[in-house]
Amino acid sequence: MWRRGLFLSATFLLLVAVSVGCKKKKIELGQDVIANEDLISSGSIDTFSIYTSSFRTDSVISSNRFFGVLGSCNDPEFGTVNSEIYTQFRIVSLEPTFDLPNITIDSVVLSMVYSGVYGSTGDQTLEVFEIGGTEPLSDTTDYYPDQTFPESGSNLVVPGTEVMFLDPNAVTYVDTTLVQSQLRIQLDTNLAWQLFTEATNNPASFIDNDAFTTYFKGLKIKTNNGFQAPGDGGLFYFDLNDADSKIRIHYKSSGEDRIYDLVINSSCADFNHIDFVEDINVSSVINNPSLGQQTYYAQSFQSRALVKIPGLNSIPANAIVHSATMELPVQYQTGQPFEPGTEISVALFTSATDSTLISDGSTLGLYSSGNKTFTINMRNYVQRIVSGELENTGFVISPLLFSNTMDRIVFNGPNTDKKLKPTFKITFSEF
């Protein structure tokens, strides 16, 4: 189950440790790379200045992600976050036939299999609407968190069942069968009558899935929770590609029990619409980067951190970097609902004039719950910058699953009043 998230922005000093060679010493890292006689000098720099800031991230794709994200919470640091799910459905059997005069509808259930939660379990008020408009969703189109589609008709959730206790660890039974934990929403049976009538009167709408998704564009699944106190609420992850994530219609035809399924699979288009409201602390750092010297932030889908280390340009191009480690402590009290994620990623801008990110895919920061710090092995990036292979455009820090989870983190800046401050340590030799 996935949770948490991260962010970054600040200015701090670097402690640089280097190997100094008045006499022969053992070099623990890279000792077999160059012969001792080729070492011409070692260098040391007492401090590096680091410049950190936060920035908004545009054009984050939220379609066909690992999880559908549903719910809302009031994060004391990041403000209110609300996420809705838009998804298509597909038919299993083409050109179905229904004996309408002899049919009775028992129930229509939308089920979605849980994958986790960020925040707290608890009651949330659910709403489900048919997607309207003239254009269907497309599985070949990228959708973004700020995109919406119009609603069609009224709320489909059966009146009196809108408030549900959301919990990914809830025990779930279907009839008497224990199944994996899932959210099961009772929908108006008129939806089933609408579908059965269309299949009978206009069978071309059910001739294939392209025709069906043009006719039935899918559902918008949302919450309408009203006011939430700081710290309340949660954002819930759902595996929409699980076979048990679907609409199931229970009905009787001439007295015989039957079911009809509309499924969500990898061919369905889906995306998360996410609203970030009143993120005052994050916006303050973005608008005034100097505030990041005390506290700085990272949050999935909307903001990242940029850490610039100009002093890396002063390291000789013939240097061999043996180690480069960054430690980023965070503000988090054990037991609180908004935990940090377990990993962060590191990337660079392509150039000073191009904000496209490049990543080696292997430089990750690992979180230690014991000392509440992310530790990042930066050696690969730093060596490539020193040797001139990469431009020193600054390090972009993000939650590892930036466009899949709702992870966020509050980092200690260099001027924090907390005990732990960010550090950077590097060792290198010239040859």
Rounded mean pLDDT, 267-289: 93
Beta-sheet pairing, 68-75 with 51-56: unpaired
Give per-residue pLDDT as tens, 182-241: 999 999 999 999 999 999 999 999 999 999 999 999 999 999 999 999 999 999 999 999
The 10 Å Cβ neighbour count of residue 279 is: 20
Q: What is the C-alpha to C-alpha distance for residues 97 and 201, in angstroms, rounded to an integer?
A: 10
pLDDT given for residue 422 in this prediction: 87
Six-digit token string for 46: 């007492």
Residue 274 within any structural domain of the chain: no
Q: What is the C-alpha to C-alpha distance for residues 39 and 318, in angstroms, rounded to an integer?
A: 10
More confident residue, 25 or 141: 141
Q: Which of 241, 268, 295 is the last residue of a domain?
A: 268
Q: What angle do CA 340, 346, 348 make, to 5 degrees?
A: 145
Give per-residue pLDDT as tens, 317-353: 999 999 999 999 999 988 889 999 999 999 999 998 8
Rounded mean pLDDT of the chain? Answer: 88
β partners of residue 85: 221, 272
Same domain, 159 and 225: yes
Residue 273 within any structural domain of the chain: no
Q: What is the C-alpha to C-alpha distance for residues 206 and 99, in angstroms, rounded to an integer?
A: 16
Rg of the chain on CA atoms, in Å: 27
Same domain, 146 and 263: yes
Domain that holds residue 167: 68-268
Q: 48 pLDDT exceeds 80? A: no
Give per-residue pLDDT as tens, 54-72: 899 888 999 999 999 999 9
Six-digit token string for 249: 């219609």
What lies within 8 Å, CB to CB, of 52 at 6+ separation is 8, 9, 10, 11, 12, 289, 292, 293, 296, 305, 306, 307, 308, 413
Q: What values do phi and psi take at 4, rounded to 5?
A: 70, -175
β partners of residue 117: 236
**Domains in the chain, number:** 2
Residue 402 within any structural domain of the chain: yes
Same domain, 203 and 348: no
pLDDT given for residue 352 in this prediction: 87
> Which residue type sits at 41?
S
More confident residue, 276 or 431: 276
Question: Which residue in 339, 422, 417, 301 sits closest to 373, CA to CA?
Answer: 422
> Which residue type sits at 271?
F
More confident residue, 304 or 15: 304
Q: What is the C-alpha to C-alpha distance for residues 243 and 113, in angstroms, rounded to an integer?
A: 9
Confidence of residue 109 (pLDDT cuts 50, 70, 90): very high
Q: Among 22-26, 99-103, 382-386, 394-398, name the one with the lowest average pLDDT.
A: 22-26
Q: 360 pLDDT exceeds 50? A: yes
More confident residue, 9 or 337: 337
